[in-house]
């Protein structure tokens, strides 16, 4: 998965917009982009107008975000 500027490109070739590359996870498991846009929502699975991400795309997204948070923790929350 690659995040560049405001674009996410999954290994599958599927792309999504994420304003400034910001990806968030809400308490309801919705995945947001930017400040308030929706990237993926579990309750939208049956919406024919909403192209869904595959399980592989979602796993790739989770792995990406886990790595980002681990890198952030190592830089910012490590003992001094």
In angstroms, the CA 56 to CA 12 distance is: 8
Q: How many residues does the chain have?
A: 80
More confidently predicted of 28 and 13: 13
What pLDDT is attached to residue 46? Answer: 75
- Of 25, 6, 4, 8, nearest in space to 60 by CA: 8
Please determine, for residue 1, whether its predicted confidence score (pLDDT) is greater than 90. Answer: yes
- Of 13, 47, 52, nearest in space to 31 by CA: 52
Question: What global pTM score does this model have?
Answer: 0.83
Torsion region of 18: left, alpha or beta (phi above 0 gives left; psi -120 to 50 gives alpha): beta
What pLDDT is attached to residue 50? Answer: 65
Q: Where are the domains of the chain?
A: 2-76
pLDDT, tens digit, for every residue of 22-79? 999 988 888 999 988 888 887 777 776 567 888 999 999 999 999 999 999 999 987 7
Please determine, for residue 20, whether its predicted confidence score (pLDDT) is greater than 90. Answer: yes
- The 3-state DSSP class for residue 39 equals strand
């Amino acid at each position: 998965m690659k995040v560049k500027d405001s674009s996410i490109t999954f290994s599958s070739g599927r792309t999504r917009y994420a304003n400034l590359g910001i990806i968030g996870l809400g308490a309801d498991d919705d995945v947001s982009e930017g400040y308030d846009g929706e990237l993926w929502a579990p309750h939208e699975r049956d919406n024919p107008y909403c192209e869904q991400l595959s399980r592989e795309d979602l796993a790739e997204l989770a792995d990406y975000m886990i790595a980002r948070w681990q890198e952030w923790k190592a830089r910012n929350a490590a003992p001094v």
